Amino acid sequence: MSQPGTEFELNGNTYRAGRLNAWDQLDVARKLTPVVGGLACVDIGEVIGGRVGDSLTPLFSAIADMKDRDFKLVLKVCLSVVQKRNGNQWFSIITPQGDLMDENMGGSELIMLCVEVVKANLSGFTAGLPLNLEKKLSENLVGLHRVTEEE
């Protein structure tokens, strides 16, 4: 897997979010539609300020309401295009069978890797939204990434 992609840092490691094919983009976008609605309701200012309270409830509720098979599909499809840098080489983070190469990765790390893949591949899907909603979704994705890095 040597495709170019969007590089980013997470927990002291450098990753690359590769490109999803069109069918996978559509599948992921469709499965994440309720989650995007939950993300739009997040007050990221409160989250970054440490006043989480109920501000993440809509997002967590949308994720919790996903069917297990839909949740796993999104994770596996997104993680299938993520690579991790080790020295000058890039390695896939999952095996062809869908198992993690590094069993020490935590759930929040996997979610943030998926968020990066979604940002890199599905940003065009929000282009038809009203400008203020598209801006809020983008800010919330960046803010949630920042909060997770601080934990």
Structural domain includes residue 26: yes
Sorted by sequence, the CB contacts under 8 Å of residue 85 that are 6+ apart come out as: 13, 14, 15, 16, 91
CA distance linking residue 77 with residue 81, whole number of Å: 7
pLDDT on residue 7: 92
Which structural domain range is residue 45 located in?
6-150
Structural domain includes residue 36: yes
Of the candidates 83, 80, 52, the one whose C-alpha atom is nearest the C-alpha of residue 148 is 52
pLDDT on residue 134: 47
| Total domains present in the chain | 1
Which positions of the chain have pLDDT values less than 50? 1-3, 129-134, 147-148
DSSP 65: T
Structural domain includes residue 25: yes
SS3 109: helix
Structural domain includes residue 72: yes
pLDDT on residue 132: 47
Structural domain includes residue 140: yes
Structural domain includes residue 88: yes
pLDDT on residue 61: 78
pLDDT on residue 108: 81
- Whether the CB-CB separation of 118 and 32 falls below 8 Å is answered with yes
Structural domain includes residue 126: yes
Structural domain includes residue 1: no
Q: What is the DSSP string of 11-38?
A: TTEEEEE-PPPHHHHHHHHHHHHHHHHH
pLDDT on residue 23: 94
Reading the block at residue 83, the tokens are 């690579």
